[in-house]
Amino acid sequence: MAKVLPISSSQLSIFFILSFFTITFVAGESYGYARTLDRKLYNLKKEKLSHFRLFWHDTYSGKNPSAVKVVSSPTNSSTLFGAISMIDDPLTEGPELSSKLVGKAQGMYASAAQEEFGLMMVMNFVFMEGKYNGSTITILGRNKVFSDVREMPVIGGSGLFRYARGYVHASTSKNDMTTGDAVVEYNIYVLHY
């Protein structure tokens, strides 16, 4: 059994006095270009967890492709190592492209693996709807596209998603191997204020 040492009230008050001086001293260190802000004044009181379920439409075919290959693989590898595509993909509420448009996935992805087919994704999900209009979530991660569920980090955001962090789970719902067109379900779990 651990023995609990009794602490007298005078010991306690010495402790509080010492911590008070330490805090004052540290906070008192001043730089002209930096200062500590009261987070309450910036509306950063309570962090929320939000979930979004969106469908990402990557279309190479047709007259209005939302994805374009900007660099072809300079090697002839089966994993297309080195290929880069730029995207401005619609994000919709349902799996059909005709369902409600909620935002766009703007960014690029590159074949970053030599041994298997794996992409490095760099995307800003820009919301275009309701209170989220104009706010963005930034996703950067590894996408092993032939796995059932791929997890990628949410590394930040803007607007309503300032200070965002979290992850997405991406799973392919449709994939046309001839055209390269794909529909992917994105489940986004994000902490923000």
Ligand X SMILES: *[C@@H]1O[C@H](CO)[C@@H](O)[C@H](O)[C@H]1NC(C)=O
Q: Of the ranges 18-26, 107-115, 125-133, 152-160, which one interacts with ligand X (CB under 6 A)?
A: 125-133
100 binds ligand X (CB under 6 A): no
Between 47 and 88, CB nearer to ligand X = 88
Residue of 75, 99, 114, 173 interacting with ligand X (CB under 6 A): 75
Going by their DSSP bridges, the two strands 48-58 and 84-92 should be labelled as antiparallel
Between 147 and 158, CB nearer to ligand X = 158
Going by their DSSP bridges, the two strands 48-58 and 150-158 should be labelled as unpaired
CB of 131 to ligand X, least distance (A): 9
- Token pair, residue 102, equals 């909620």
Give, in order, the Cα–Cα distances in Å from 89 to each of 8, 126, 136, 178. Answer: 66, 10, 14, 19
Residue of 9, 30, 36, 76 interacting with ligand X (CB under 6 A): 76
- What is the three-class DSSP state of 21? helix
**Residue 21: CB atoms within 10 Å:** 10
Residue of 93, 129, 151, 185 interacting with ligand X (CB under 6 A): 129
Give the span between the Cα atoms of 2 and 128, in whole angstroms: 59
**Residue 189: CB atoms within 10 Å:** 15
Between 129 and 185, CB nearer to ligand X = 129
Between 32 and 74, CB nearer to ligand X = 74
If you search the block for the tokens 């619609």, which residue do you land on? 90
Q: Of the ranges 33-41, 47-55, 103-111, 126-134, which one interacts with ligand X (CB under 6 A)?
A: 126-134
- Residue ranges in contact with ligand X by CB under 6 A: 75-76, 128-129, 133-134
